[in-house]
Amino acid sequence: MSTIESPCVDICQLNPNTGICTGCFRTMDEISLWIDLSDDDKREVLRIAKDRELKMLPDNF
């Protein structure tokens, strides 16, 4: 069993332009595959999602 929790924050809305969830910054594939990913793969998805989040923040943050 994985010790890494899902980054879902219950704001499940995919941006139609990017295909990225506006709550957790994952793609639909990353969301749907999450339960089957290894811990290493989950860490990589979390890293990528964090990078996406930082890129999407307004410049004044």
- State the Cα–Cα distance between residues 20 and 23, nearest whole angstrom: 9
- Between the CA of residue 31 and those of 6, 36, 41, 42, 58, what are the distances in Å? 9, 10, 12, 10, 24
pLDDT at 61: 52
* Per-residue pLDDT tens digits for 2-28: 789 999 999 999 999 999 999 999 999
* Per-residue pLDDT tens digits for 24-60: 999 999 999 999 999 999 999 999 999 999 998 877 5
- State the Cα–Cα distance between residues 57 and 59, nearest whole angstrom: 6
* Alpha helices (runs of H) in 12-58, residue ranges in sequence order: 28-33, 39-56
